[in-house]
A and B are shown apart, each in its own frame.
Chain A
Amino acid sequence: MSIEAAGDRSLYWRVQLGRNHGARGLFAVVVLFLLLYAYLFPGLLTVEGFSKFSQTWFPLALTAMAQALLMLTGGISLAIGATVSLGAVIAAVTMTQTFGVAGGIAAVLATGLAVGALSGFVVVRLRLPAIIVTLASSFIIGGAALLVLPRPGGAIPPWFSTLLAGDTPVALGLLALIVLAWKLYLATPLGLTIYAAGENPVGAFRSGAPLDAARISAFAISGALSTLAGLFIAAQTGSGDPVIGQAFTLNSIAAAVLGGVGFLGGQGSMRGALAGSLLLAVMINVMFFLGLPPVAQYIAQGLIIVGAVALPHLAGRWRSA
């Protein structure tokens, strides 16, 4: 066992393993579903099939991270879907202009950060409940997306689409980079404060943690993750659509909750949220490939979400009874 190798190192891994504790069941279910998926559709095991699958997961993973980040600080966003749409239309409009793809990525990132930071400022500094602010801002952001592109259109350079959403698992690599960046961010004072802000805001404030700054930057990062998801979707479809992101509001919350992230803040982990989004992506894919009609997909999705949240509670009660 390498766990007992060196003093500091072993503590690190023990802590990391300890954080898996609540999510172990979830990980097992995810692996089970992935195996089932691979059994039903052996195409998953080829490079192309695997790449395509990771591409359907990627935007959901990003939005799940965006939502989980806010939920960890004790907030929530009902504007994720609108922000994804805004990212998609901005990418589709800017990438064929003078500044090219790099300019487009910068514009998408800047918009996400600004939109998120603004919502965060209103929630944190002006003391309005996050759910109401983001519900109202979903109208503002959705309206802005309609202004940028009133109807589906715009374009993404084909080489960029092929790079991101072609037959190579580039998206998965990007996701690994983003997760790495999240790990680094967690080690900064602002990152450390995220859990403190959700778990015990008063205690965190009294011990001098930068509470407001951490919350506002959580909103900003969450906005940037959402617009990036939009950029990816635009690259996938080759154009922008001002309402393409709508489903991501519910799905991001569902993925985070499936992953064990609590509503009250401070409970859960990003790896849980990612596993939750993976589970949701696999289930959506399986239902799609089994040829279920949209009706059944909606109903199954609703039932699965409620079931995933209710089952642990019921199991606990059954065990104690």
Chain B
Amino acid sequence: MSETASDRGASAPAGRRVAGILRSRPVLTLAMVALVWIAASLTSRGFGSYGHLRYLVELAAVIGIVAAGQTFVMIAGGIDLSVGAVITISAVGVPLLSWPWDPGGTAGVAGILVISVAIGAVNGIGVAYLRVHPMIMTLAMATLLQGALILVAGGSAVSVQSPAVVWLGNARPFGVPAGILLWLAVSAATLWVLHATRFGARLFALGANPLATLLSGVDVSATIVTVYAMSGLTAGLAGVLVLGMNGQGYVGIGDPYLLTSIAAVVLGGTSILGGAGTYAGTIPGAVMLVTITGLITVVNASAGWRSILFGSLILGLLLLSGRESRR
């Protein structure tokens, strides 16, 4: 009875283990991505080229990093609807945080990450101590940030000067884009925290049964604040990456990432009700979403049709894989 999540797989018989792997959501989502990629490269020329696939994964890195925080929050039974606004704040804010004594720009990036963490922590304080529902708290935070954005950016686009951000968006150490390397690092850290630390175990417990978790002596409020702060951190990180890849930050740059981060998490098999899931599913989920968006741009439709296709495809994918009985 003392087995943990990490050694449960090893103790199961081989046959059951194979069946378990085939039934696991991360593997299924991965298979779906592979299927779509093979089909798309057979039908559309240029889709399967190494450069294009690398570009897709680079785009997926942004969604994947935001979705890491979203996975934490959702497993703990919450939801973060402010990630889009935090990404925008971060992308618009980095160019403002440049000082003459900081030619490399790293202090600016660090500063914006601290701000993002603080925003997330305020979300968490609202949810944990003021008992505001996560959806209300994070939506209200998004509204608040919208006001703050007008204050800091004044509605105009800002271009990036910080060398650190430019490097993150464009450098290719060892031929791999820095964004993908960052995503790898975030993924490794996320998986480790979720499945190999006490904190991760508490998140699952909190999502499954908050009352029991509280009664077993876990500091529930502190855990909730930490979880939202982590979501703020990943959203801020994603904002820096988007700014680096785009070269420009503008109001609304983060908006598309709200739905995609939630969809990536749910596609990957994490329950929106909390208590179950893994980031290992979110990773192929993020790649899947980017692939869909890529295919839609290939179709060359109007903005209205693109939006309809995007929504329908996400809905269709969720119908295929994301069904869960409610209550």
Contacts and interface: CB of A to CB of B under 8 A. Distances in A.
Contacts of B175: none
B143 A301 contact: yes
B135 interface: yes
Interface string A64-102: 000000000000100000000000000000000000000
Contact of A139 (B79, B137, B266, B310): B310
B307 interface: yes
A136 interface: yes
A310 interface: yes
A76 B303 contact: no
Contacts of B315: 122, 128, 133, 136-137, 140
A26 interface: no
A305 B307 contact: no
A201 interface: yes
B133 to A, nearest CB: 5
A302 B140 contact: yes
A202 B327 CA distance: 9
Give the most central of A138, A145, A310, A313: most B CB within 10 Å.
Answer: A310
Interface string A309-321: 1100110000000
A303 interface: yes
Given A128-B319, A314-B130, A137 B147 contact: no
B262 interface: yes
A142 interface: yes
Contacts of B327: 201-202
A174 interface: no
Nearest to A141: B311
A206 to B, nearest CB: 14
Contact of B259 (A139, A250, A301): A139
A106 interface: no
B302 interface: yes
B99 interface: no
A247 to B, nearest CB: 9
Contacts of B79: 131
B130 A305 contact: no
Given A147-B302, A253-B135, A302 B307 contact: no
Interface string A278-321: 00000000000000001111110111011001100110000000
A129 B324 contact: yes
Interface string B208-225: 000000000000000000
A129 B272 contact: yes
Contact of B148 (A127, A295, A303, A310): A295
B132 A306 contact: yes
A294 B304 CA distance: 29
A240 to B, nearest CB: 14
Contacts of B146: 298
A132 B140 contact: no
A310 B322 contact: no
Contacts of A132: 262-263, 266, 272, 318, 322
A139 B315 CA distance: 10
Given A301-B143, A302-B144, A143 B306 contact: yes
B132 A263 contact: no
Contacts of A128: 315, 318-319, 322-323
A146 interface: yes
A254 interface: yes
A310 B131 contact: yes
B96 interface: no
B27 interface: no
Given A128-B319, A142-B307, A310-B126, A295 B324 contact: no
A250 B306 CA distance: 24
Nearest to A312: B131
B147 A299 contact: yes
B325 interface: yes
A305 B319 CA distance: 34
A263 B135 contact: yes
A129 B326 contact: yes
B150 interface: yes
A257 interface: yes
A177 to B, nearest CB: 30
A263 B324 CA distance: 19
B135 A136 contact: no
A131 B136 contact: no
B312 interface: yes
A303 B302 CA distance: 38
Interface string B108-145: 00000000000000000010001111011101111110
Contacts of A302: 140-141, 143-144, 147
Given A131-B272, A253-B139, A140 B266 contact: no
B292 to A, nearest CB: 12
8 closest pairs, A vs B, by CB? A298-B147, A143-B307, A139-B311, A146-B304, A302-B144, A143-B308, A310-B130, A140-B311
Given A122-B315, A128-B322, 11 more contacts: A122-B319, A136-B315, A136-B318, A140-B311, A143-B308, A254-B139, A263-B135, A302-B147, A303-B140, A310-B132, A314-B130
